[in-house]
Chains A and B, each alone.
Chain A
Amino acid sequence: MNSEPLIRIEGLTKQFSISRGKNLRKAKFTAVNNVSFDINKGEVFGLVGESGCGKSTLALLTLRLMEPSGGAVYYKGRNIFDLKYNAMRVIRRDLQIVFQDPYDSLDPRFNLQQIMEEPFIIQKQGSRRERSERIAQLLDAVGLGTQLLNRYPHQLSGGQRQRLCIARSLALSPEFLVCDEAVASLDVSIQAQIINLLLDLKEEFGLTYMFISHNLAVVKFVSDRVGVMYFGNLVELADKENLFGNVQHPYTAALLSAVPDPFGAGKRRDVLRSGVPSLIDPPGGCVFHPRCKYATERCSREAPCLRDIGGGHLVACHRAGIMNGEVK
């Protein structure tokens, strides 16, 4: 019996160098800073954070669509960064991704038939008849009909395109699916349909998800456990009830109170001071301390580590516990 997590991310780091323009010296900025967490088979792991927090970079690293500056990603116990090209190609069948912009994810020159066949052609799977059958099954599973097969992406609506992207990502029978803001560009009524679809597919095919979004309410609805990222760092991680009901990190608290709630009008908001820090010149110590109302001198000196405060609830904060679990 395997109690090992499906995906283990350990110390994953990614730095980019950018030229500063004025001087030729290149500056480094850290998009993902020493992030570690596990994803268990069958769960939906939600990853939430605002723009620039590194969640999309993390997604690409997890699938080895980008090489890391440090750290490892273990899939079923093997570090995917150690795999040679051909071995990685085989593993890729198990690790798939759905992107945010369904229009951008589809080659405008390919019709649906070609789009759906592509995974099979690339991986050299299945005879022609087997492929046709499988394609029909997949389209049915996502709610599209085979009569659409000779259409082109521009002839479909946004919701239909995203369904197509989902069907394509399931073609190779993956185990793990990353949804990188998969519903963010959709209209609200369509978003609900796709969220339900993703959950249904997970049950039907026994999938494991990493669901990335900036929308806390959606993440809460969909996920089993949730990680919060700020500026490249994982600042809090807990199962759903504990993250939302027993908030420990001041940033998570600020995020929660900033979420507009149609039924909670008039709720007082914990408005954060100033803005997102500079990428090239990050604050010393805890990366959140300049905006944190509970920051102390220690916070500006020493970066906090992610520690377990009980029951698998991880927080990276010197002052965890200060808010007594309530969102003020």
Chain B
Amino acid sequence: MEDKHLLEIRDLHVSFPMGRETVRAVNGVSLTLEKGESLGVVGESGCGKSVTFSAVMRLLSSPPAVINGEILLNGRDIMKLTEKQMQKVRGKEISMIFQEPMRSLNPVMLIGKQITEALLLHENMTRAEASERALDLLRFVEIPDAGSRLNSYPHQLSGGLRQRVMIAIALACNPQILLADEPTTALDVTIQAQILDLLKRLQAEAGMSIVMITHDLGVVADIVDKVAVFYAGSVVEQADRETIFGDPKHPYTSGLLKCIPTLGTSAKRLPVIEGNIPNPSDLPEGCAFRTRCRYATDLCRAEKPPQVECGPGHYCMCHYAGQIENLI
């Protein structure tokens, strides 16, 4: 008898046929998320991380996208729900916040109204109750002067405040999962720090599960319990945070960690991963990373590597997982 995970993605494939080419955005992704856990999803552009979670929210239009696999929320396959049923799930059980708050907020609608709209949609509340709750939410996300902000328009707020409003809207109906897609990328470093602190508080106080999608490993290190590293539409490595940063087994993960300069870096040149990120419509055969991997062999070209368990809760998609010496 399987333990029920809060969210389980099973062998998800998403592709976009475009005439002569097919864009293979997601190629067999399997992930789990437990209650109260936070997951960091890391990868560079074109790796499929955003598409995966857009698929979870059922935000991809199914033509043209071709989606296969199961996505289980509390044991229930939400891929099989009708759009109407899915609308009850979005916002209520899973919420998502995006990178550019200015584009996600309606520029001609008052902030307060955008929050109460979410509440009135999912909860049984009167308008007055919804307004009260909206005020509480703005206070919870530490927006100064919350009362008057309810009657502001998005353009009257700074980027950091808008992102807080996005978070407030996402939290309105107490979802179990918050998906955050590059929420701090467009923000300054000092504002980013504030938002990350807020998300940490959310996790601690509300017991919410957070999925943090980002290309910035530093951001992830701070607030997540476990990490999944994406490359070319697959999860090449997943493990808890200490293991990913301390003892990665996949050449891509370790290469990525080494090539990012930190305040402590003392080398004269950065150790790089050679080559370019593969085009999702033209992925290399076998292991998609082999064209950039210094350890690649003929086996890597012949066969796509399986997901190997190299430790408790530590999975690695490499033929040589755990066998490469001095990886980091």
The answer for the CA separation of A271 and B270 in the assembled complex, in Å, is 30
CB-defined interface of A263-281 with B at 8 Å, one 1/0 digit per residue? 1111001011011100000
Give the docked Cα–Cα distance between A263 and B258 (Å). Answer: 11
In the bound complex, residues from chain A placing their C-beta under 8 Å from that of B255 are 189
Assuming A189-B256, A217-B261, is B269 touching A196 (CB within 8 A)?
A: yes
A221-B265, A262-B217, A269-B197 in contact; A192/B189 too (CB < 8 A)? no
Residues in A whose Cβ lies below 8 Å from that of B219? 260
Interface residue total, chain A, C-beta cutoff 8 A: 43
* A50, B222: Cβ atoms closer than 8 Å: no
A261 near B192: Cβ-Cβ < 8 Å: no
Q: Helix, strand, loop or mixed for chain A's interface?
A: helix
In whole angstroms, how far apart are the Cα atoms of A137 and B230 in the complex?
Answer: 37
Query: Which of B15-23, B77-85, B272-280, B307-315 contacts the other chain?
Result: B272-280
Q: Are B188 and A50 in contact (CB-based, < 8 A)?
A: yes
The reply on A81 being an interface residue by CB < 8 A is no
Establish whether residues A50 and B189, one from each chain, have CB atoms under 8 Å apart when the complex forms.
yes
Asked if A27 is at the interface of the complex by the 8 Å CB criterion, the answer is no
- The distance in angstroms between the C-alpha atoms of A196 and B261, with both chains bound, is 11
Q: Do A190 and B276 contact each other (CB < 8 Å), given the known contacts A50-B190, A214-B189, A272-B190?
A: yes
* CB nearest neighbor in A for B278: A157
Q: Which of B221, B260, B263 contacts A216 (CB 8 A)?
A: B263
Residue ID in chain B nearest A291 by CB atoms: B190
Determine whether B193 belongs to the interface, using a CB cutoff of 8 Å to chain A.
yes
Partner of B221, one of A157, A255, A256, A261: A261
C-alpha gap A214/B241 in the complex (Å): 26
**Given A187-B45, A187-B277, A261-B218, A271 and B194 touching (CB < 8 A)?**
yes
What's the least CB distance linking A260 to chain B, in Å?
3
Bound complex: CA of A189 vs CA of B275, how far in Å? 9
Q: Is the C-beta of A51 less than 8 angstroms from some C-beta in chain B?
A: yes
Q: Which residue of B lies closest to A244 (CB)?
A: B263
Distance between Cα atoms of A272 and B197 in the complex (Å): 12
B193 A221 Cβ-Cβ under 8 A: no
- Confirm or deny: B63 has a beta carbon within 8 angstroms of a beta carbon on chain A: no
Q: Is B191 an interface residue (CB 8 A)?
A: yes
In the complex, the answer to whether A193 meets B272 with C-beta atoms within 8 Å is yes
Select which of A159, A193, A261, A274 is within 8 A of B263 by beta carbon: A261
- Bound complex: CA of A254 vs CA of B193, how far in Å? 10
Contacts of B257 in A (CB 8 A): 262
Contact B277 A220 (CB under 8 A): no
Query: Is B144 part of the contact surface with A, judged by Cβ < 8 Å?
Result: yes
Q: Inside 8 A of B236's CB, which chain A residues have their CB?
A: none
Q: In the complex the two chains form, is A262's CB within 8 Å of B262's CB?
A: yes
**A191 to B260 CA separation, bound complex (whole angstroms):** 8
Q: Which residues of A contact B173 (CB under 8 A)?
A: none
Docked complex Cα distance between A274 and B144 (Å): 8
Which of these, A190, A266, A274, contacts B277 with CB under 8 Å?
A190
Contact B193 A269 (CB under 8 A): yes
A218 at the interface (CB under 8 A from B): yes
B221 partner residues in chain A, CB cutoff 8 A: 260-265
With an 8 A cutoff between CB atoms, is A60 at the interface? no
With A187-B45, A262-B220, A271-B194 already in contact, 15 other A-B pairs whose C-beta atoms are closer than 8 Å: A160-B276, A188-B259, A189-B44, A190-B276, A191-B259, A192-B259, A193-B272, A193-B274, A196-B269, A257-B193, A261-B263, A261-B264, A265-B222, A269-B193, A271-B193
